[in-house]
Each structure stands twice: as structure tokens, then as C-alpha cells.
């Protein structure tokens, strides 16, 4: 990729959250005639177009007026082998796993099937405006490598790892400890810190992991610098009860992961619907993040996410689509669903558009310990952005014509925005996606 030497100004109305709206007032920055000044893949300036143009008169100008720029969307919980199980409604977690998800995950043993799924998966991410994703790989080294390869080709930031389990699940999804250690070590050597890839140690959940398997996770985390960690936590009441039975020594579900040193910055726990105050306190204290997956929580009937309690405890939260228990790849939709469910939840939290944007972008960057590199348009960060332009005759276009201010526009983008609005996606300044036809 070659960049214009004198830099590029990308002109369009823009939104970002350089501050955390759960902690600070006026966290949203928006410019109706906005611009980013980009050089060598980095943002060097962000603000009003006229001022930026005067400051950088030699820059090439890309005029994207008519649409809107947002920081690249960040999905902090998604399963690549579950692309084809989307839409399996009507079950709770454990029966959904058994009947829908795990039979499909077993098919990833066949490499050609896994490769095709991986390519469709990264295409679906980018076409929804997602530039960074924390992804559950497959239970097989080959299929997980296929995801990393597809990630490399796509130019996206993919954080992923082979899914580890040694009990409960059907036999073909279980690994021996030696095999798990060997395959993960190999994948880390091949992919961790290659281009925009990172490796995340990924035990499926405590229910399918013996103490010996969690010990393998600890060893991997100790042996390699900069790994991330992901798993599930407190998603479903039956799951929580079963974990208590299997780990009688643990004070609570989180206590299982704590015991093996698997919490801390760069660790992301999905769901955390049924949590205690003690767990929230320890999550906040250790800098462990929680990926909130509202579509999945509703689809599986897992429960209302206690967002207010997470915020009050100081837990870092972000959004996850949780494909395939969720309802698709759209992080904008996930923001809307978070908003809707919080309107109904006992002791819910009324989320403003700036909260939604933060959860969809900077919150994800913080959760992944990438807050210095991505998540908003602060100068020095990578130029990751999504350009949204509603199709000409769409309802969203009509709503935006009438919107009085940028807050209303942002709310409308979360309410009605989907893949049909995603026109261009860039990661570190490079185009990784460009929608085919221009309008409608």
C-alpha cells in the first residue's frame, strides 16, 4: 500500500469518543464539516475541515461528504465456526450448544470447509464496518490457522486462538493437554504479532475445562509476551450452578479463572449476566473486561445484563455480537439492542448515543488493551475508520435529512444503520473494503 507523501485529508461529518462517557461529561466529539488528516496510516489531526485544510494545505483531499466517519467498529466476542448456525432460535445456552453450535463446530475438522467459512467470516465482519475482532477460533489447529490466514489477507485486526476443552463436549472437540499445548504454541509462533494479528488463549468455558487444561492456559500466558485471553463467564443460570458443582473450592465462577491467573488487562470475559458484587469488584480491580452481548443474551434468554452495576464497580465494558448465538455481525445493531434492553432491565441504564459509540469503538479498544493504538481519532492512533452513507432512498437517509443536530444523527445511525450503509472501511489508512455499487 502506498500513501500520499503529503498526507491525505478525509472530509466528512465525523463522530468519536476520545473520552469515556460513563466517567466524564462531554465525551463525544462530533464535527458537522469534519476531517481527518492521515499520514503513513496514522491520524495526525482530527477536527473541522477548514482548520485542517489551512494547517495542511498540501494534503490530498478525499471528499466523502454525504456520509459519516466513525472509528472502526470493534467486536469483542464472536465465534468464527458458528457463522452457519445464526438463526437457531428458541433454546437456552446448553441445549443450543448441544443441538446447534457444537455439531457445526465439529465440521471444522475438515480444512476446506473451515477455510471457506473463515473467508466468509472476515468478509462479513468488514462489510459490517468491524475493523477489529476478538474471535473464538475452532477446536482444531488447522481451522484456527485458516482464520488467521483469512485475517491476514483481509487486513483486519484479528485477535483469536484455538478453543480449548477437555470435558463435557462431544469427543471430537476435546483435546489432550499435550495436544492443546503443542497446537497453541505452534499457532502463537506463526501468527501472534504477525501484521495485525494477536493470539488470545481461549478455553471455551470453565464447564468444559478441567483444572489441568486451565493450567495449560496459565503456562501459555506465562511463556509468551502480549497474549490476550478470552472465555465465557456467568452467562446462564444452569451453567453457573454446574460450575459451582465442578469447582467446589472456588468462591464463585470468576474465582476459577482467578485461581489460574487468567484475569487482568487484555482478558475479556463474555456475558457476565449473573454476577455477584464480589466478582465485579475483582474484575474492576484486575482490569479484566466484560464483553456485553445483548442480542445473544436475548436470543438465548440468558437474562438482562447488569450494566449499571458494571459501571458503578468500574468494570471495562465493550460489545460483542456473539455470532452464532447472537443475531448477526452488526455492531451498530448490538448497540441498539444494548440500548433497548437497558430500557427494560430492572435498574437499567439509559444509554445515550455517545455511550453506544464508546461501547462500539473505544470501549472495545480498552478491553483488548489496544487503547493507545485504536478506538478513536486521537492524533497518533491508527487510521481505522468506517464510512457510513445511507442508501439514497432509505428510511435512514430521510431521518438524517430531518435531524436537527449530530446527536440525533448518531442515534439514527445506531437505530437504522446496517451493512447497506457501510461504503468504505480502512485499517491503518488502507482500504480494506469498498462497497460495490454507489446508491441503493
Can you give the binding site for ligand GUN, defined by CB under 6 A? Answer: 79, 93, 97, 101, 204-205, 232, 235, 296, 322, 325
Nearer CB in complex with ligand GUN: 37/205: 205
**Grid cell for residue 195:** 501484521
Q: Which does 8 bind (CB under 5 to 8 A by kind): ligand GUN, Zn ion, none?
A: none
User: Where does residue 264 fall: left (phi above 0), alpha (psi -120 to 50 degrees), or beta otherwise?
Assistant: left
Nearer CB in complex with ligand GUN: 288/415: 288
Q: Outline where DSSP puts E strands in 49-90.
A: 60-63, 68-71, 73-79
Cα angle, residue 337 at apex, residues 74 and 344 outer, rounded to 5°: 140
- Residue 252 is a binding residue for Zn ion (CB under 5 A): no
Instruction: Give the one residue of 322, 334, 366, 376 binding Zn ion; rule: CB under 5 A.
Output: 322
Helices (H), 40-140: 49-55, 93-96, 102-106, 111-127
Strand partners, 133: 75, 158
Is the CB of residue 165 less than 8 Å from the CB of residue 203?
A: yes
Segment near Zn ion (CB under 5 A), from 2-10, 187-195, 319-327, 391-399?
Answer: 319-327
Q: How far is the C-alpha of 339 from the C-alpha of 358, rounded, in Å? A: 13
Q: Which does 19 bind (CB under 5 to 8 A by kind): ligand GUN, Zn ion, none?
A: none
H-helix or E-strand containing 230?
A: strand 228-233
Shortest Å distance, C-beta 84 to ligand GUN: 13
| Contacts of the segment 111-115: beta carbons below 8 A, 24+ positions apart | 111/142, 111/143, 111/146, 114/81, 114/138, 114/140, 114/142, 114/143, 114/146, 114/147, 115/146, 115/149, 115/150
Nearer CB in complex with ligand GUN: 88/287: 88
Shortest Å distance, C-beta 98 to ligand GUN: 11
Q: Which does 292 bind (CB under 5 to 8 A by kind): Zn ion, ligand GUN, none?
A: none
Nearer CB in complex with ligand GUN: 209/288: 209
Is the CB of residue 276 less than 8 Å from the CB of residue 240?
A: no
Shortest Å distance, C-beta 5 to ligand GUN: 47
User: Where does residue 26 fall: left (phi above 0), alpha (psi -120 to 50 degrees), or beta otherwise?
Assistant: left
Q: Which does 164 bind (CB under 5 to 8 A by kind): ligand GUN, Zn ion, none?
A: none
Give how far Cα 212 sits from Cα of 161, 166, 186, 203, Å. 18, 9, 20, 12
Q: Which does 139 bind (CB under 5 to 8 A by kind): ligand GUN, Zn ion, none?
A: none
Residues making up the chain, counted from first to last: 440
Q: Which does 93 bind (CB under 5 to 8 A by kind): ligand GUN, Zn ion, none?
A: ligand GUN
H-helix or E-strand containing 344?
A: helix 331-344
Binding mask 36-75 toward Zn ion (x if CB under 5 A, else -) reads ----------------------------------------
Segment near Zn ion (CB under 5 A), from 213-221, 266-274, 379-387, 421-429?
Answer: 266-274
H-helix or E-strand containing 201?
A: strand 197-203
Shortest Å distance, C-beta 325 to Zn ion: 6
Shortest Å distance, C-beta 174 to ligand GUN: 14
Please choose, from the candidates 431, 417, 355, 375, the residue with its C-alpha nearest in 3D space to the C-alpha of residue 68.
417
Nearer CB in complex with ligand GUN: 208/342: 208
Shortest Å distance, C-beta 430 to Zn ion: 30
**Grid cell for residue 145:** 490457522
Q: Which does 235 bind (CB under 5 to 8 A by kind): Zn ion, ligand GUN, none?
A: ligand GUN
Shortest Å distance, C-beta 230 to ligand GUN: 11
Nearer CB in complex with ligand GUN: 104/258: 104
Shortest Å distance, C-beta 197 to Zn ion: 20
Shortest Å distance, C-beta 36 to ligand GUN: 36
Nearer CB in complex with Zn ion: 155/326: 326
User: Which residues contribute to the site for Zn ion (CB under 5 A)?
Assistant: 270, 322
Amino acid at each position: 500500500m502506498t500513501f500520499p507523501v503529503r498526507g491525505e485529508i478525509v472530509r466528512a461529518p465525523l463522530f468519536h469518543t476520545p473520552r469515556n462517557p460513563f466517567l466524564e461529561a462531554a465525551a463525544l466529539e462530533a464535527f458537522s464539516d469534519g476531517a481527518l488528516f492521515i499520514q503513513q496510516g496514522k491520524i495526525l489531526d482530527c477536527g473541522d475541515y477548514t482548520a485542517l485544510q489551512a494547517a495542511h494545505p498540501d494534503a490530498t483531499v478525499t471528499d466523502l461528504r454525504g456520509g459519516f466517519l466513525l472509528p472502526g467498529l470493534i467486536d469483542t466476542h464472536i465465534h468464527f465456526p458458528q457463522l452457519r448456525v445464526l438463526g437457531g432460535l428458541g433454546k437456552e445456552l446448553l441445549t443450543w450448544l448441544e443441538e446447534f453450535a457444537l455439531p457445526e463446530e465439529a465440521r471444522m475438522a475438515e480444512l476446506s470447509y473451515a477455510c471457506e467459512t473463515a473467508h466468509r467470516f472476515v468478509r462479513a465482519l468488514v462489510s459490517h464496518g468491524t475493523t477489529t475482532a476478538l474471535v473464538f477460533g475452532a477446536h482444531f489447529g488447522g481451522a484456527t490457522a485458516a482464520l488467521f490466514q483469512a485475517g491476514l489477507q483481509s487486513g483486519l485486526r484479528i485477535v483469536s486462538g484455538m478453543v480449548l476443552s477437555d470435558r463435557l463436549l462431544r469427543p471430537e472437540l476435546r483435546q489432550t493437554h499435550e495436544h492443546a499445548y503443542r497446537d497453541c504454541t505452534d499457532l502463537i509462533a506463526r501468527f501472534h504479532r504477525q501484521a495485525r494479528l494477536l493470539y488470545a488463549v481461549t478455553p471455551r468455558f470453565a464447564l468444559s475445562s478441567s483444572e489441568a487444561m486451565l493450567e495449560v492456559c496459565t503456562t501459555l500466558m506465562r511463556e509468551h509476551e502480549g497474549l490476550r485471553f478470552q472465555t465465557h463467564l456467568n452467562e446462564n443460570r444452569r451453567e453457573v450452578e454446574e460450575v459451582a458443582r465442578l469447582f467446589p473450592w472456588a468462591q464463585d465462577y470468576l474465582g476459577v479463572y482467578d485461581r489460574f491467573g487468567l484475569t487482568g488487562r487484555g482478558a475479556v470475559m463474555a456475558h457476565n449476566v449473573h454476577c455477584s458484587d464480589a466478582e465485579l469488584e475483582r474484575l474492576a480491580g484486575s482490569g479484566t473486561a466484560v464483553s456485553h452481548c445483548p442480542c445473544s443474551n436475548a436470543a438465548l434468554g440468558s437474562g438482562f445484563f447488569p450494566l449499571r452495576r458494571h459501571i458503578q464497580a468500574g468494570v471495562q465494558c465493550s460489545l460483542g455480537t456473539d455470532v452464532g448465538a447472537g443475531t448477526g455481525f452488526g455492531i451498530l445493531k448490538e448497540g441498539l439492542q444494548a440500548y433497548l434492553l437497558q430500557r427494560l432491565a430492572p435498574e437499567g441504564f439509559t444509554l445515550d448515543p455517545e455511550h453506544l459509540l464508546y461501547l462500539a469503538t473505544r470501549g472495545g479498544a480498552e478491553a483488548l488493551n489496544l487503547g493507545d493504538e485504536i478506538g478513536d481519532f486521537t492524533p497518533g492512533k491508527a487510521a481505522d475508520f468506517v464510512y457510513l452513507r445511507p442508501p439514497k432512498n432509505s428510511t435512514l437517509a430521510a431521518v438524517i435529512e430531518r435531524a436537527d443536530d449530530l446527536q440525533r444523527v448518531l442515534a439514527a445511525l445506531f437505530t437504522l444503520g446496517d451493512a447497506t450503509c457501510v461504503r468504505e472501511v480502512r485499517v491503518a489508512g488502507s482500504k480494506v473494503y469498498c462497497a460495490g455499487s454507489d446508491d441503493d
